[in-house]
Structure 1
Amino acid sequence: MLSLHRSSRVAYRRSFQSLHHVSRASRIAFSCSASRYGYEDTIQNLKIGKHTRVIFQGFTGKQATQNAKQSIEWGTKIVGGVRPGKSGEHLGLPVLPTVRVAMEQLKPDATGIYVAAHQAAGAIEEAIEAEIPLIVAVAEHVPLHDILRIHSMLNTQSKSRLVGANAPGIISAIGRCRIGFQPLPTFSPGHVGVVAKSGTLSYETVASLTRAGLGQSLCIGMGGDVIAGTNFVDALKVFEHDEDTEGIILVGEVGGRAEEEAAEWIRDYRGRTAQPKPIAAVVGGRCARPGAVMGHAGAWAAPGEASAETKHRILEDAGVTMVDHPEKFGGVMKELLAKSGRNVQKIEKSAANQRRGYHTQRRMPSAGFPYRSTTSIASLGTQRRGLFLSATQAADMLSEHGIKISPSTESAVDSHLLSITIDRQSRSPCILASPTTAPSQNHRRAKRFPFDYRQGPSQSTLQDALAHLQLDAAPPVAKATAMKLMQTLWSIYKEKEALTLTVHLAVDTESDSLRISNPSFHFDDAAFRSNNRQAELHALRDLSREDPTEVEAERDGIVYVKLPTASPGSGAASGGDGKGGGGAEVEYESYNIGTLVNGAGLAMNTVDALATHNGLASNFLDTGGKATSETVKRSFELVLRDERVKVVFVNIFGGLTLCDMIAEGVLKAFKELEIKVPVVVRLRGTNEEEGQRIIADSGLPLYAYDGFEEAAKKVVELAREAEMAERGKSDV
């Protein structure tokens, strides 16, 4: 998109830290000097509202045009947009050739970037160069190393704040300002702030608050990428001082440390505040398959990171009220607001007055969600997964750099873990070091040593990591090998655009040398799929080592993850720790429930919530952002291919995905497939009434619900009955 301005961007990147251009003092009252201010000072730019002037990059494209029409009708102050190298008019608003010109002439407070993943990084860079205060990037699958480079720029300035990428955006329900692709009918003005990793789970959360009469103040989509431009703590700092926000909700998931960092902040906040705002949360992925990427690019736990179950407990210990499903947030938040001494009736009345005041000005769809959104992110990319090399392939790659891999003969106590990975907190690469490889101790003993992406690890960083590995007193040969290894791993990491490179280390006491073993290499496939980089590396992908159903699903833009078989009471639903959704020992009354869900976060949460009802899912399935009736039928084929499945649970919250379209897909599946197991369908959200009517009038043997609790109980009941019937036949 921005090739016409490549030379200016290159020059900008080289001299970024020396920029001293000062934006309008009325909008940003702080200096650009990196020595005095930094990225932290841009948090205030998240406070959008009716005053916010918005431009779109990629303004004349189909997706941006549809989105802009809806947002303008809703009340968002869109003042124009950018189309590289072109000037003119679109939707009655000015179109300008560069973001810098748009900044000078339109004086925007924010920009929404509506371009494909391979163009997104360039568009973000141009917005940083123009010093746009708030940059919202919605595209999925922006290459990780492009984002790392962007954050190394953002960390040196104090003008621009990024939301995203791979995020639904940010929306002020009170200020009627939407920068993103959130389904507008789900939102209502009110007094609860929401920050979420998952788009679909955030829509479920918002809908619950709307039904409860509480509404929302500000909703921030943190997004599901490995690195988020804005995280939980950033949002919490905004909500703390926002007069419109009376309660706060966090929607987290497996992967990263954002939830742990939020817990630390909340513990401090509750200790220093006389009447803290109540906070509730959910963490998805508590039943995630270890090592799998659960739909979102960032939904996987790197070495040394806590499980979703552990993060759930950490938040709970910090005083956060945890729920197992976002449908419960409305009722839970009402109770918390009352217990905190706040006037719930006054909050509800205020929210109702704001809704009435708004609807007298603009005609919007009713609370029943009879609304067909024309906004789609399908063209911005489909769900993907990372590339994992086999141990042999990883060993060969290290051998090319003079690093020899040895057989693993040491115990976890005697070996050390070394990784080049991502420090999501500092938004940079890091060396992760642990003096043990025991999984039970890694979270506690692992330490991250972040460094600037453009400069690489310094000598002092390498020495600090070596000391934490407890190798600083090792024999000289072993120490030298460890230092060379860290530098080699970083070289491979940057050259090949990796996500995580991990090895085990141990000192050979007989030869005083360093033994290197168990290489585990994980690479970013977005670089290849979005930008066609690293083709030679990705040609190494060995599909024969992967589950054929998962590979087939990927080709159709569906994310399917097969979950392990488990016997009742085994605890496999929570990763083998013997604990279910509430962290207690459970006996699974039924299992092998096939799931079909739209949205990665909702798919994770569905599997988790079923476990709290003593049901065990046999798969994770996210239909993806481009779901159609054909996609739904195809998803049924994939789920039913697993002979373990005793019942299928279709759990849909229609945000951008339409409930009536899902219903038509279910009917299509029944018409064209031989479905012999019971099917439970739960439809909520956009066009829910029409979708429910289609199911009700179909005459098919379906169980239809709009509430999750009722649907989940029915699913478990049917699975139990099928299991008992099957056991009865085997006994005969």
Structure 2
Amino acid sequence: MPLHSLPRRVPQTGLRWSRSFSTSPRRSNYADTLPNLKIGAHTRVLFQGFTGRQATANVKESLEWGTKIVGGVKPGVEGEHLGLPIFPSVKAAQARAKPDASAIYVPGNQTAKAIEEAIEAEIPLVVAVAEHVPIHDILRIHSMLQTQSKTRLVGANCPGIISAIGKCRIGFQPLPCFAPGNIGIVAKSGTLSYETVASTTRAGLGQSLCISMGGDVLAGTNFVDALKIFEHDTDTEGIILVGEIGGTAEMDAAEWIKDYRQRAANPKPIMALVGGLEAPPGRIMGHAGAWCAPGEPDAQTKYQALERAGAVMVNHPEKFGEGMKTLLGTGVSRPGTQSFLAAGAQRRGFHTMRRVSPISRPTQQKRNLYIKQFQAFDILKQKSIPVSEQTAPSDVSISISVDRTSLSPCIVASPNAEFNSTQSRRFPFSYTETNLENNSLVSAVASYVGLPESSHGKLASLVQALWNIFKEKEAFVLETRLGASADGNLEVRGARFGFDDAAYRSSGRQEEIHSLRNTAEEVAEEIEAEKDGIVYVKLEGEGSIGTLVNGAGLAMNTVDALSIHGGHCANFLDTGGKATSETVKSSFRIICSDPRVNAVFVNIFGGLTRCDMIAEGIILAFRDLNMQVPVVVRLRGTNEELGQKMIAESGLPLHAFDGFEEAAKKAIALAQK
């Protein structure tokens, strides 16, 4: 990319720009905003939602660390806060303070509006940290982003972006973990990224730039975007990628890594981790985006793709630091032949990819609502779509879902009754599309699934009806199984409809749809946990180890790593980033209500949540709940030494560890007694 297209305050040092940054060098598009990710000491940061409690605390910390904050926005208000100016609008802030980036600290239901205002003001970088942003709000935002070349989005539902070298934090990352260095990190999970950062800091490597892709369905910046930045960043000598179940971003990254290693004379070493290897199919694992849409690969497939591409794979982020230190120290340029997992463990079960019918998966979800098939049929009947429960071998599958790569809705088609990544094909289209009946895309779909030309018009009418439902009801996936009736018409023979609960919970929309949820038919422990803001998934099988973790990504990885070491987990549990001592106590109560549990493994990385607060919660739980099962505790992060001391001096039967592997082995041994 020519230097003249960079934002005018981005210094022309530290990065070697090339044409690979732009897919269309003669026409501006969203890809042209990639250089805006290279933040540093020069970056002037604006806050939207400036005077709120969380933003205020964040601004104080970031200013003290060295971030250059130029003020904030409170709609319709001018004044001063924390010695910095308050602007009545982003447009006014842009004119007077010339910000390079905006940190959006407003609730999920207001986030899209705030992003839109920043786009209109042409703020170069926008970082949205909020969870529970309605999917259709973000689909609309991405339809705007794709038509411009000034604003780059990071998030939503992410810790943000941080330059350890430039002391610039745009987000809520725990600052004590970071140290200036040479490792570029991109991650979906916040807690896994913090573990990764801490590991590289302990190894004496530090970090150059850390970019959070975030855990939402639609990410403004993805793995490939970050990899392109790291490739050309002279501050970055090694690259770490932390992925998880859901979407295809890791597969896209694997293709990029493969190409990079072929064209680069001395490629930078790349390490990676994929969370959710043991995640049950059809479940949403804490993050809003941690689920597989029709035809998407599972975590095992992603792991294999990254390993084949040349990334060194690990089973826990604690291993990144020493692993990367070894790669950089020995000058290894093709690390794909090495592994930092235990011998034989890394491929356990990796070649048994599940193929699941679109109407046979579990219905209990916590971040989205799946309705029953008869309820989906009722919605279809209201659109005059014929339905039937009979099936035939010639049935095909058609879905409308979200394409996470094109950041738009898409039709997913399979020529048989099952969706799988080898036979399914995705057909993205614009969110602003209103008439699919006259769109040639549907004819391409019909041809792909093998429908005769005489049925193309009938499929177009059916797809149009599905698209109308998708938008009107704010669905995130509408899966259907189609077949030909006796009179030659198309009919829906199976349906699995999922709807975005953020539209209801954070924005108060779609009450009629979400009133269809019947909690009496769901797992009692999961409903109880939900009341306390805890995400709990009861795992099937002989699980004897209860897990208590803060952060969805870290919780998935904890289950994965325990399983690789020979353990059997009874649950997935994410206390959330704002866990308190009371939340920990509630978590123990729910975990210990499962009679299978013989031991509890607590794996906490203290970021926003302090380790001493977690230790207090563990001690209170023991005393108040009269707990009988042994507990293994691993505390890392903010105030870890104080938390470990509290556990050690409690006089209770608690087993405290610093390293993950030692703690995991102890928990497994206790669970087997």
Is the shorter-chain TM-score for this pair beyond 0.5, marking a shared fold? yes
- The residue type equivalent to 1:462 in the other structure is V
- Asked if structure 2 preserves the Cα contact closer than 8 Å seen for 1:204 and 1:653, the reply is yes
Would the aligned equivalents of 2:386 and 2:490 in 1 still touch at CA under 8 Å? no
Give the Cα separation in 2 of the matches to 1:110 and 1:514: 51
Deviation string, structure 1 residues 573-602 (Cα, Å, up to 9, x no partner) = xxxxxxxxxxxxxxxxxx421100000000
In structure 2, the partner of 1:726 is none
> What is the SS of the residue equivalent to 1:444?
coil
Aligned to 1:421: 401
Secondary structure of the corresponding residue to residue 672 of structure 2:
helix
Q: Does 2:486 match 1:494?
A: no
* Superposition pairs of residues 476-491 of structure 1, within 5 angstroms: 476=454, 478-491=455-468
Determine whether 1:407 maps to 2:384.
no
| C-alpha distance in 2 between matches for 1:448 and 1:490 | 15
After superposition, give the CA deviation of every residue in 1:252-276 in whole Å (9 maximum; x if it has no partner).
0000000000000000000000100
TM-superposed CA distance for 1:314, in Å, is 0.6
Q: Which residue of 2 aligns with 1:444?
A: 422
Structure 1 residue 421: Cα displacement: 0.3
User: 1 CA distance for matches of 2:11 and 2:522?
Assistant: 51
Higher mean C-alpha deviation, range 513-522 or range 78-87: 513-522
1:573 equivalent in structure 2: none
Q: Which of 169, 185, 188 lines up with 1:194 in the alignment?
A: 185
| Aligned residues between the structures | 627
Which consecutive residues of structure 1, in runs of 5 or more, have no partner in the other structure? 1-21, 343-382, 567-590, 722-732
CA contact (8 A) 1:496 1:523 kept: yes
1:9-24 equivalences under 5 Å are none
Secondary structure of 1:332 counterpart = helix
Render the CA deviation track for 1:644-690: whole Å, top value 9, x for unaligned.
11111111011111111111100111011132211111111111001
| CA distance, structure 2, for counterparts of residue 425 and residue 186 of structure 1 | 31
Distance 2:312 2:484 in 1: 46
Separation (CA, whole Å) in 1 of partners of 2:8 and 2:214: 30
The CA deviation string for residues 229-251 of structure 1, in whole angstroms up to 9 with x for no partner, is 00000000000000000000001
* Alignment partners' CA distance in 1, 2:216 and 2:596: 32
Matches of 1:114 and 1:513 in 2, distance apart?
51
- Residue 90 of structure 1, CA deviation: 1.2
Conserved 8 A contact 2:6-2:36: no
8 Å CA contact 2:442–2:459 kept in 1: the answer is no
Q: CA deviation at 1:408?
A: 3.8
Going from structure 1 to structure 2, the CA distance change for 1:657 and 1:408 (only over 3 Å counts) comes to farther
Q: Report the counterpart of residue 506 of structure 1 in structure 2.
A: 483
- Are the equivalent residues in 2 in contact too, given 1:133–1:160 (CA < 8 A)? yes
1:460, 1:28 → 2: CA distance? 46
2:371 alignment counterpart: 389
Residue number in structure 1 paired with 2:638: 686
CA contact (8 A) 1:140 1:166 kept: yes
What corresponds to 1:571 in structure 2?
none
Change (3 A) 1:626 1:26: closer
Q: How does 1:113-152 map to 2 (within 5 A)?
A: 113-152=104-143
Distance 1:133 1:180 in 2: 16
Structure 1: how far apart are the matches of 2:514 and 2:418? Answer: 31
Paired residue for 2:304, among 313, 324, 328?
313
Indicate how the Cα distance of structure 1 residues 34 and 61 shifts in structure 2: closer, same or farther if over 3 A, else same.
farther
Q: Matches of 1:608 and 1:37 in 2, distance apart?
A: 43
- Structure 1 residue 224 and structure 2 residue 215: aligned? yes
Aligned to 1:331, the other structure's residue is in SS state helix
- SS of residue in 1 equivalent to 2:181: coil
Change (3 A) 1:678 1:24: closer
The aligned residue for residue 520 of structure 1 is 496
Asked if 1:559 corresponds to 2:535, the answer is: yes
CA gap 1:200/1:384 in 2 versus in 1, 3 angstroms: same
Distance 2:45 2:176 in 1: 21
Q: Kindly provide the amino acid, as one letter, of the partner of residue 105 in structure 1.
A: R
Query: Percent identity of the aligned residues?
Result: 63
Q: Distance in 2 between matches of 1:616 and 1:694?
A: 28
- Pairwise CA distance, 1:27: 5.6
1:339 positional shift:
3.5
Contact 2:9 2:42 in 1 (8 A): no
Structure-1 separation of matches of 2:376 and 2:293: 17
Q: How does 1:92-107 map to 2 (within 5 A)?
A: 92-107=83-98
Asked if 1:153 corresponds to 2:144, the answer is yes
1:268-287 Cα shifts (integer Å, max 9, x gaps): 00000010000000000111
Of 260, 275, 291, the match for 1:300: 291
Provide the rounded CA distance (Å) in 2 between the counterparts of 1:69 and 1:384.
34
CA contact (8 A) 1:252 1:282 kept: yes
Q: Paired residue for 2:344?
A: none
Distance 1:462 1:281, change over 3 A: same
CA deviations over 1:180-217 (Å, ceiling 9, x no partner): 00000000000000000000000000000000000000
Q: Does 1:549 align with 2:540?
A: no
Point out which structure has higher relative CO (alpha carbons under 8 A, 6+ apart).
1
Deviations 1:432-489 (A, max 9, x none): 11112345xx201111111110124461111111111111x26x3x444322211111
Residue 666 (structure 1) aligned with residue 657 (structure 2):
no
Give me the whole-angstrom Cα distance separating, in 2, the residues matched to 1:34 and 1:305: 31
Task: Return the alpha-carbon distance in structure 2 between the equivalents of residues 309 and 23 of structure 1.
Answer: 39
AA matched with 1:463: S
Asked if the contact 1:499–1:524 (Cα under 8 Å) also holds between the matched residues in 2, the reply is: yes
User: Distance in 1 between the 2:493 and 2:578 partners?
Assistant: 42
> How far does residue 507 in structure 1 lie from its aligned partner after superposition?
3.1
Asked if residue 64 in structure 1 is aligned to residue 55 in structure 2, the reply is yes
Match of 1:263 among 254, 259, 278: 254
> Alignment partner for residue 101 of structure 2, among 110, 113, 120?
110
Matched-pair contact (CA < 8 Å) for 2:396–2:416: yes
On the 8 A contact 2:7/2:36 being kept in 1, the answer is no
Q: Secondary structure at the match of 2:33?
A: helix
Paired with 1:146 and 1:717, the residues of 2 have a C-alpha distance of: 48
Please show how residues 274-289 of structure 1 align to structure 2 within 5 Å.
274-289=265-280
Measured in 2, the distance between the counterparts of 1:437 and 1:34 equals 42
Counterparts of 1:313-712 in structure 2, within 5 Å, are 313-340=304-331, 385-411=367-393, 414-438=394-418, 442-456=420-434, 457=436, 459-471=439-451, 473=452, 476=454, 478-508=455-485, 510-566=486-542, 591-712=543-664
**Structure 1, residues 297-340: CA drift from partner, whole Å, max 9, x if none?**
00000110000011001100101111000000001111121343
Contact 2:385 2:491 in 1 (8 A): no
Measured after TM superposition, the shift of residue 513 of structure 1 is 3.2
Distance (Å, rounded) in 2 between the aligned partners of 1:542 and 1:24: 51
> Is the 8 Å Cα contact of residues 164 and 179 (structure 2) preserved in structure 1?
yes
Q: Which runs of 4+ in 1 moved over 6 A?
A: 28-31
Are the structure 2 counterparts of residues 318 and 429 from structure 1 closer, same or farther at C-alpha, using a change threshold of 3 Å?
A: same
Q: Which whole-Å CA distance do the structure 2 matches of 1:206 and 1:133 have between them? A: 26
Q: Does the CA-based 8 Å contact 1:23-1:131 persist in structure 2?
A: no
Given residue 452 of structure 1, which amino acid in structure 2 is its aligned partner? S
**1:614 match: secondary structure:** coil
Moved more, 52-61 or 144-153: 52-61
SS at match of 2:546: strand
Counterpart of 2:239? Answer: 248
Amino acid in the other structure paired with 1:113: I
Distance of 1:642 and 1:627 partners within structure 2:
21
> 2:391, 2:483 within 8 Å by CA — same for their partners in 1?
no
Question: 1:515: Cα distance to partner?
Answer: 3.7
User: Which residues in structure 2 correspond to 1:19-38 (within 5 Å)?
Assistant: 36-38=27-29
Structure 2 contact 602–633 (Cα < 8 Å) conserved: yes
Give the Cα separation in 2 of the matches to 1:402 and 1:513: 13
Q: Is the 8 A contact 1:34 1:156 kept in 2?
A: no
Q: In structure 2, what residue type is equivalent to 1:504?
A: R
1:616 match: secondary structure? coil
CA contact (8 A) 1:34 1:158 kept: no
The offset of 1:424, in angstroms, is: 0.3
Separation in structure 1 between the aligned mates of residue 52 and residue 418 of structure 2, nearest angstrom: 51
